[in-house]
């Protein structure tokens, strides 16, 4: 399954604002299993392989607690290489007694849900083989069922948890948005994604290359939900990777065609969706 490499467009990195940098570093190392790649006075980058940052955490000045009922991060999702890796994570949380917010079988994947100390949502999941995913025309069949913990644990290899596997990826991101019509236009006509699932007019799942989703979008915080303040805990931005300059330039042109603003600075391209969620466009 090569859904997170060219020619697909996918999420590679998430940058978060946190209230206490040291507290968050300890959480992301000890609970999630990241390696600390680099640290400054107010920022740290976190890696699974010791080379590539998947998450950056930053403590801005005058940071405020997470605002409720706003747009922004619902969760970011770390994709593990295998079901046996998910078994290790489950064993780890049982051992340390860390509380989960949920655990679900989505048919295409199996997932655990939790939050960091600031309330930033995290999903840790493994995919089922794509050959087993069911499609109705262009829509993938997903659901939310009870996770069979016992079955997953049975696939464990008996080795102790030692942090995130080196080939862990940023599997997807799920965002709160204020509405779905302009949001769909932005992500599909602008950025080049395709809708793969709709949930009752309240959520939209999109991807490239027929992945079950690279991005989830929902209005569960309310139609017309405002963007959080600049100093609120939460998402600073996330990064989308394009396969080449031609594909990125095409996305930029399409965004501008629908009226979205794209900023170019020092070779970096950035934009924001209609709900104010900031995005970097990378190669």
Is residue 205 a part of any domain in this protein?
Answer: yes
Structure tokens, 81? 């290489």
155's CB contacts (< 8 A; 6+ apart) are 83, 84, 87
Supply the DSSP symbol for 178: S
Domain membership flag for residue 5: no
7-38 pLDDT, tens digit each: 999 999 999 999 999 999 999 999 999 999 99
pTM for the predicted model, two decimal places: 0.96
Considering only residues 175 and 2, tell me which one the structure prediction assigns the higher pLDDT: 175
Nearest to 275 by CA among 204, 223, 239: 223
Describe the strand order of the beta sheet including 215-218 as a list of residue ranges.
145-146, 102-105, 109-115, 121-127, 72-80, 169-176, 215-218, 203-207, 194-199
Q: How far is CA 98 from CA 93, 107, 193, 194, 210, in A?
A: 5, 25, 36, 36, 34
Under 8 Å between Cβ of 221 and 70 = yes
Q: What does the block give as tokens for 215?
A: 């991005």
Domain membership of residue 99 (yes or no) is yes
**237 within a domain of the structure (yes/no):** yes
Q: Nearest Cα to 169, choosing from 1, 2, 4?
A: 4
Cβ atoms of 18 and 118 closer than 8 Å: yes
76 within domain boundaries: yes
Q: Is the pLDDT of residue 267 over 90?
A: no
Q: Is residue 246 classed as helix, strand or coil in its secondary structure? A: helix
Binned at pLDDT 50, 70 and 90, residue 282 comes out as very high
Is the pLDDT confidence value at 266 over 90? no
- Spatial neighbors of 204 by CB under 8 A, at least 6 apart, are 180, 183, 184, 195, 197, 198, 216, 217, 218
Q: Please give the backbone phi and psi of residue 191, each rounded to the nearest 5 degrees, phi first.
A: -85, -15
What pLDDT, in 10s, does the model give residues 204-213? 999 999 999 9
Structural domain contains residue 87: yes
What proportions of the chain, in percent to the nearest 5, are helix, strand and coil?
20, 35, 45
How many domains in the chain? Answer: 1
DSSP label of 150: H
Question: Does some domain include residue 43?
Answer: yes
Among 46-50, 125-129, 134-138, 277-281, name the one with the lowest average pLDDT. Answer: 134-138
Domain span at residue 247? 10-282
The share of the chain scoring above pLDDT 70, in percent, equals: 100
Q: State what percent of residues in the chain have pLDDT above 90.
A: 93
pLDDT at 1: 63
Q: What is the pLDDT of residue 214?
A: 98
194 inside domain: yes
- pLDDT tens digit sequence for 66-84: 888 999 999 999 999 999 9
Domain with 36 in it: what CATH number?
3.10.180.10
Q: Which of 136-145, 187-196, 270-279 has the lowest mean pLDDT?
A: 136-145
Q: How confident is the model at residue 236 (pLDDT cuts 50, 70, 90)?
A: very high
| Residue 30: other Cβ atoms inside 10 A | 13
């Amino acid at each position: 399954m090569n859904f997170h490499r060219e020619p697909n467009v996918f999420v590679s990195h998430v940058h978060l604002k946190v209230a206490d940098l040291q507290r968050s570093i300890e959480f992301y190392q000890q609970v999630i299993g990241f390696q600390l790649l680099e640290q400054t006075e107010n920022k740290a980058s976190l890696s699974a392989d010791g080379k590539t940052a998947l998450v950056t955490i930053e403590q801005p000045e005058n940071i405020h607690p997470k605002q409720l009922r706003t747009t922004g991060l619902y969760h970011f999702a770390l994709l593990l290489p295998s079901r046996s890796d998910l078994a290790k994570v489950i064993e780890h949380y049982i051992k340390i007694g860390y509380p989960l917010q949920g655990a679900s079988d989505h048919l295409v994947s199996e997932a655990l849900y939790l939050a960091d100390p600031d309330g930033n949502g995290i999903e840790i999941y493994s995919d089922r083989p794509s050959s087993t995913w069911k499609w109705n025309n262009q829509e993938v069949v997903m659901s939310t069922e009870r996770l069979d913990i016992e079955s997953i644990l049975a696939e464990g290899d008996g080795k102790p948890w030692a942090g995130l596997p080196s080939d862990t990826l940023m599997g997807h991101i799920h965002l709160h948005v204020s509405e779905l019509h302009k949001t769909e236009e932005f992500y599909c006509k602008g950025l080049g994604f395709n809708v793969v699932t709709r949930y009752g007019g309240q959520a939209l799942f999109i991807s490239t290359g027929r992945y079950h989703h690279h991005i989830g979008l929902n209005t569960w915080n309310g139609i017309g939900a405002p963007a959080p303040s600049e100093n609120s805990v939460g998402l600073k931005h996330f990064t989308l990777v394009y396969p080449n300059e031609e594909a990125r330039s095409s996305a930029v042109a399409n965004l501008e065609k629908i009226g979205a603003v794209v900023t170019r600075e020092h070779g970096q391209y950035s934009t924001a969706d209609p709900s104010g969620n900031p995005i970097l466009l990378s190669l």
